[in-house]
Structure 1
Amino acid sequence: MPTLFRFVFFIGFLAALGVGGMYALTIFVEPEPREISQRIPTRDLFGNN
């Protein structure tokens, strides 16, 4: 039974690290807005006739 508890605590610890990492990313990383332009071929605009 102690092995099961160790496994559960280890999985919980890994989950806590993952959640903490995601939280840190939302707090400390600010995305930079920028314009994106992409050329679309004319044949794709009017469909395949």
Structure 2
Amino acid sequence: MPTLFRFLLMCAGIAGIVYGTLYALAVFVEPRERDITVRLPSERVNPPAPVKPTSAPATP
């Protein structure tokens, strides 16, 4: 039983450290705003017109 208690105590300690780290990051770190430029390929903005198939002349 002491081994199980020690294991659970270690898991709780690690979880507490992770929780404290996440809390500190959320409270003390402010995100910076910056402009983002995304280049779009011209094919996505102006898709090419669909090509119409040419019909062959009918032979009698």
Name the TM tier (shorter chain).
Answer: 0.7 to 0.9
For structure 2, the residue ranges without an aligned partner over 5 or more in a row are 51-60
What TM-score do the two structures reach when normalised by structure 1? 0.87
Instruction: Considering fraction of residues, name the structure with more helix.
Output: 1
For structure 1, the residue ranges without an aligned partner over 5 or more in a row are none
After the TM superposition, which parts of structure 1 deviate over 2 Å for at least 4 consecutive aligned residues?
A: 44-47
What TM-score do the two structures reach when normalised by structure 2? 0.72
Structure showing greater Rg: 2
Q: Percent of aligned pairs with the same residue?
A: 42
Q: How many residues align?
A: 48
